[in-house]
Chain A
């Protein structure tokens, strides 16, 4: 289940980034936060969303402000000068909402899983995670990981 969920989250990031933000994302091979350039950015933002159903957990997304600003420009079709923090934060959390919903609905062997409301979290809380999936876009890096808080008994399969 862990592997299947990770595959769906990664595929969902590709799909959402391309469809809604017109950005091609490419997965990096690195999986440790210690050797990723992403965590050298001083203006990182992070958000998370809860899900529950056959099993429960959280999906996180981490990206630098510069990338989020550009994603917001592409998403809204507005120049950066017109954008507020509310636009950027709202775009970031909505991106995660779409990624999570899109990934979870593709888990065919699971009963319905509901999503919570996406929210911003302190990026320092998630910088030492080892099991990130890292991505590169032409405009900057981003990363995602998930954790299961109430796994079903088959979650390790």
Chain B
């Protein structure tokens, strides 16, 4: 199954890096949606199927934690796994993310392996691109 991924990040370059990292991790993806804050993310999921969301915490308008809280109010949206990709790495904050319903978190700076391992943990072994399998699974940016 090819994944539909939503990346929520106010930094446009970081959205691009996360997208490339997921591709480099070998996941077969059908669509990447992007949103610059939590409010825009809610608009995306209102009208599109999304398998997983990777979101920053610190964003204008609606931050990553507020996005989780909004999604948990909706019967359909609350089932979508949400991964926090954030510089906010204190134990106190990470515990709060997980308590509120995040499926996992990745601290910035991150390596491609950290993204791959967490996605595998959450999504299971997804289908990989043939091209990456041929390369022996090595990351190549």
Which residue numbers of A lie inside 8 Å of B, CB to CB?
15-16, 19-20, 72, 75-77, 86-87, 90-91, 93-94, 97-98, 100-102, 104-105, 111-117
Contact = CB atoms under 8 A, between A and B. Distances in A.
B112 to A, nearest CB: 10
Indicate the size class of the contact surface on chain B: 20 to 34
B137 interface: no
Contacts of A87: 12-13
Interface in B21-59: 58-59
Contact of B13 (A15, A72, A100, A105): A72
B20 interface: yes
Interface in B60-92: 60, 86-90, 92
B109 interface: yes
Given A94-B11, A97-B87, A112 B16 contact: no
A15 B109 contact: yes
Contacts of B16: 76
A153 to B, nearest CB: 21
A101 B13 contact: no
Given A98-B87, A115-B58, A19 B13 contact: no
Contacts of B87: 97-98, 100-102, 105, 115
Given A77-B141, A105-B90, A94 B13 contact: yes
Contacts of B12: 86-87, 90
10 contacts: A76-B16, A93-B11, A101-B89, A101-B108, A102-B89, A102-B107, A102-B109, A111-B92, A114-B88, A117-B10
Q: Which of A97, A102, A114 has the most CB of B within 10 A?
A: A97
A91 B14 CA distance: 7
Q: Which of A15, A101, A114 has the most CB of B within 10 A?
A: A101
A105 B16 CA distance: 25
Nearest to A92: B13
Contacts of A105: 87-90, 107
B14 A90 contact: yes
B16 to A, nearest CB: 5
Given A77-B141, A115-B88, A90 B13 contact: yes
Given A75-B13, A101-B86, 14 more contacts: A19-B109, A19-B111, A20-B17, A20-B109, A87-B13, A90-B12, A91-B13, A101-B88, A101-B89, A102-B87, A102-B108, A112-B92, A114-B58, A117-B58
A72 B141 CA distance: 14
Contacts of A72: 13
